[in-house]
Structure 1
Amino acid sequence: MTDVHPPQQLVTIDGAPALRPRVGRLLVLLFPAVAAMYALFNGISAVILPAQVEAVDPTSKVGNLALLTTLAAVASMVAIPAGGAISDRTRSRYGRRTPWIAAAAAVSAVACILMGLAESLPGLIATTVVLWFAANFYSGAVTAILPDRVPPRRRGVASAVIGLGTPVGIVFGVQVASRVGHLTAYAVIGAVLLVTTALLLLGAREGSARGLPVAARNRSSPGQSLRSFFAAFATRDFRLAFFSRFMLFASYFVVSGYTFYTLQDYVGTGNVPDGDVATAVSTLLTLSVGVWVVVASLAGWIADRMDRRKLFVGASALGVAASMTIPLATPTWTGMLIYSACLGASIGTYFAIDLAVMSLVLPNADSEGRDLGILQVATGLPQLLAGAVASAVITWCGGYPALFVFGALSAVVSGLLMLRIRSIR
């Protein structure tokens, strides 16, 4: 299938000539697809799934939800690099990524409906694992569009578009999930993912991949295959990017996952507006996301113009660390508002440019999708570990102040690791 628009420039992908479509059109269509993906993740996990788990078994809801989220995280960590790796090796007339993006979107939509119909814990477990695997497989293949089809000089803007899709998707997904019945919410979220994916794949068509060379497949032992899969870690800058990302998201998820209890037990229920902790959490999230959107809209463009992407990402990680010190100095509602605004600005900058940096440390053009997927595991793994780490820090290291100290130190390590990358500015 050929692109319906005039080629912007002739480039080489995996050593073979390929036509690159207009980047502007691609990004305009990529944004709603990414937002729909994050709407699925956050609308379901934050609102719909907890309510379903409680309806199935109110007395065991905490343990059951922990089981489901753990299984979902495991499925995610397998699916993201798999989506990149399998699409890397695909050679179809529709391109490398398109068949898998379309299939994963369709499976995700069907799984949404089946999950909405589930009325037992085994049914929720099965559908949750299938949905999270399919949606994260989709994520791995979609994200690989960045190194495939966007030139390095435009990747800051492209990363900002993808980064901006995160807060927009969160707001949309949570609003849909909280305003309609759960089956309707599942249907709407699944339908939006299908429609936005169709617009992306048809409006910015990927060229045929049939002419691309296929990497030789050598007979090897399972151990050799595993080492080959993680071969990118042999590259210094790739390792630094992975661990920098891991530490940043450890900082963010370990602290943000306990915002409700922080307000309740550290700031004090009587010190939040009207004593309503749930509304206070919503207010902080809305403020943070609002600042995030404004900052992300500008940061990627500025980083491209200055050609200083590493500097921006490193500085934003240090900004997260500085934000974490505010509740330590001012454990009040006003302090939490200032903290949320500063955190939103720092995270917004990070998300706007992070993927551009990640795409520039990929060591092998033949496995860009797989290696970018592995870098995305650095986001999922901290989410999986966040609850246990936060609980241990609060219990054994001095309560909620220690939680913010942990977050600040993790973010500092992230920033310092990022600034040590040599291959990009």
Structure 2
Amino acid sequence: MSEIAEPVRDDAVAVPGGQRQSPLFLPLFVLAYFGVALALVSAATVSIPLRLSTLAPADKTQLLALTAGLGGVLVIVLTAPLGRISDGSTARAGIRRPFLLGGTVAGALGMLVLAFAPNVPLVIAGWCLTQAGFAATNMALNALLADQIPARLRARVAASFGLCTGIAPFAGSHLVGILPGNPVWWFGAPAGVALAANLGLVAVLRDIVRTGPARVDWRGLLRSYWINPVRHRDFAWAWCCRLLVTMALVSVVGYLLYFLTDRLGVSEKDAAGVSGTVLGVYFAGSVVTTLVFSWISDRTGRRKAIVWVSALCTAAGLLISLFSADLLTFSIGIAVAGMGQGAFVSVDVAMMTEVLPPGADAGTGLAVIALSYQLPQLLVPALATPLLAIGNAGPNYFALFLGAVVAAVLGGLAVLPIRGVR
């Protein structure tokens, strides 16, 4: 069995994970997560749609689905094996640090390819490289949540991740809106933030170092994709809940810019700024519920009821948006959905880590969990294409939003059979 070297303890300050870390660890940990979210979300929801609108305006929705779908496939293929490799790594730099550094550099390079891509194939290639790189970074960041943060505080730290995810679309849209109208700025600025933040975390992290041999073979890598849902039913239900609720959000956010221009009549010139404003409303709705329900959840130990209520709130907000005919009503619906999502992310990761099968390594287990967040990047484009094609009046955003509502409700129902979490 592999041994784990004791972490360095000289002049270090304890963080709430039982290991000794620099006092800068926790803020840089959260900042690194925000940097990756900013790069990925700004590219997926604003920068890439704008590029495709310029390069191929007649086929933009289909090409966006193709780009997102291929990037999603790559993330799904890579994340779980990277988690197992990380768990078994005997690198002197530690089991997470090499993936933080290498993944972020690769992701930033992919953003540069996107910035200079003169055609659609290179846009797709750049997005695949971006997704592959940041998949490694996200795997390491999520594994650090289990490595360093105890269960009694995990919901609050996970809630800060949720806040980062909520801030990222708002910040990314506004950032693209105020930057010069050049793709180099659209992609380069968020990539620079992600790179700087993760380099800071790499510099201060006192990582786990394995000193014993660790065998990672092809059979073990294939097992990285699998946690038996029959033997571990609580984990399976929690995984399905996260998958469905995430699909509901991705369905709306992924096509938000096109909804604003095609359905609500926002000009393409103003689309990035208006998208940022709408996502700012979403964030405002989510921030209060994130903070409140993460505190309630950690104090009471209850997760299921909060997840159920959050899914219903998300569905209600999406229904309001579905029937909106103007920007104000649409924004109100998005705010309500944001409140639901804020409550959801405040307990989601904490619940998932508490239903992990006994003995599962952090990187491997959390890599499987991450698939429930990453799989929607493949499923949503695949399902959105036929939904948007219903009828002959252009993209059918009504059908897309209705599908998102159904996914949110089913996600709430999926949490009810869980027995191991209150």
Partner of 1:209: 210
Q: Structure 1's 319 and 62: CA in aligned 2 closer, same or farther, altered over 3 A? A: closer
Report deviation, 1:389: 2.7
Partner of 1:287: 281
Partner of 2:239: 242
**Cα distance in 1 between the residues matched to 2:21 and 2:282:** 33
**Cα distance in 2 between the residues matched to 1:170 and 1:183:** 19
Contact conserved, 1:53 with 1:64, CA < 8 A, in 2?
yes
SS of 2:43's partner is helix
Whether 1:77 and 2:73 are equivalent positions in the alignment is: no
Pick the structure with more helix per residue: 1
**Cα distance in 1 between the residues matched to 2:272 and 2:15:** 51
Partner of 2:4: none
In terms of mean alpha carbon deviation, does 363-372 or 156-165 score higher? 363-372
Q: Structure 1's 376 and 315: CA in aligned 2 closer, same or farther, altered over 3 A? A: same
Give CA-to-partner distance per residue, 1:271-320, whole Å, 9 cap, x none.
Answer: x99xx887665443221122222332332222111211232222211221
State the one-letter code of the partner of 2:375: L
Number of aligned residue pairs: give it: 408
Partner of 1:407: 404
Q: Structure 1's 4 and 359: CA in aligned 2 closer, same or farther, altered over 3 A? A: farther
Report deviation, 1:61: 4.7
**Cα distance in 2 between the residues matched to 1:50 and 1:9:** 41
Report deviation, 1:154: 0.9
Partner of 1:136: 135
Report deviation, 1:23: 9.9
**Cα distance in 2 between the residues matched to 1:149 and 1:281:** 36
Give CA-to-partner distance per residue, 1:374-406, whole Å, 9 cap, x none.
Answer: 222222222323244345446659966555543
Report deviation, 1:115: 3.4
**Cα distance in 1 between the residues matched to 2:258 and 2:185:** 31
Report deviation, 1:133: 0.4
Contact conserved, 1:88 with 1:369, CA < 8 A, in 2?
yes
Contact conserved, 1:167 with 1:289, CA < 8 A, in 2?
yes
**Cα distance in 1 between the residues matched to 2:280 and 2:382:** 26
| Matches for 1:297-376 after TM superposition, within 5 Å | 297-327=291-321, 334-376=328-370
Q: Structure 1's 250 and 190: CA in aligned 2 closer, same or farther, altered over 3 A? A: closer
**Cα distance in 2 between the residues matched to 1:162 and 1:61:** 31
Partner of 2:38: 39
Partner of 2:290: 296
Give CA-to-partner distance per residue, 1:341-387, whole Å, 9 cap, x none.
Answer: 21111111112221111111111444321221222222222232324
Q: Structure 1's 140 and 411: CA in aligned 2 closer, same or farther, altered over 3 A? A: same
Give CA-to-partner distance per residue, 1:189-241, whole Å, 9 cap, x none.
Answer: 22222221122223342243325x74x66x88x6x863564134341111111
Q: Structure 1's 301 and 56: CA in aligned 2 closer, same or farther, altered over 3 A? A: same
Normalization by structure 1: what TM-score?
0.83
**Cα distance in 2 between the residues matched to 1:263 and 1:127:** 26
State the one-letter code of the partner of 1:89: G
Contact conserved, 1:146 with 1:359, CA < 8 A, in 2?
no
In terms of mean alpha carbon deviation, does 239-248 or 292-301 score higher? 292-301
In terms of mean alpha carbon deviation, does 21-30 or 149-158 score higher? 21-30
Partner of 1:145: 144
**Cα distance in 2 between the residues matched to 1:284 and 1:108:** 27
State the one-letter code of the partner of 1:250: M
Q: Structure 1's 375 and 106: CA in aligned 2 closer, same or farther, altered over 3 A? A: same
Q: Structure 1's 354 and 114: CA in aligned 2 closer, same or farther, altered over 3 A? A: same
SS of 1:208's partner is coil
State the one-letter code of the partner of 2:241: S
**Cα distance in 2 between the residues matched to 1:403 and 1:58:** 20
**Cα distance in 1 between the residues matched to 2:33 and 2:158:** 11
State the one-letter code of the partner of 2:411: S
Partner of 1:420: 417
Q: Structure 1's 185 and 259: CA in aligned 2 closer, same or farther, altered over 3 A? A: closer
**Cα distance in 1 between the residues matched to 2:45 and 2:255:** 13
Partner of 1:230: 226
Q: Structure 1's 61 and 255: CA in aligned 2 closer, same or farther, altered over 3 A? A: closer
Q: Structure 1's 321 and 176: CA in aligned 2 closer, same or farther, altered over 3 A? A: closer
Give CA-to-partner distance per residue, 1:86-130, whole Å, 9 cap, x none.
Answer: 211112333211121111112222333343233344433333211
Report deviation, 1:5: 5.1
Contact conserved, 1:34 with 1:169, CA < 8 A, in 2?
no
Q: Structure 1's 46 and 166: CA in aligned 2 closer, same or farther, altered over 3 A? A: same
**Cα distance in 2 between the residues matched to 1:106 and 1:292:** 31
Partner of 1:166: 165
Contact conserved, 2:37 with 2:165, CA < 8 A, in 1?
yes
**Cα distance in 2 between the residues matched to 1:100 and 1:228:** 17
Q: Structure 1's 73 and 400: CA in aligned 2 closer, same or farther, altered over 3 A? A: closer
Partner of 1:182: 183
Partner of 2:3: none
Contact conserved, 2:70 with 2:378, CA < 8 A, in 1?
no
State the one-letter code of the partner of 2:78: A
Partner of 1:110: 109
**Cα distance in 2 between the residues matched to 1:10 and 1:43:** 31
SS of 2:210's partner is coil
**Cα distance in 2 between the residues matched to 1:177 and 1:394:** 26
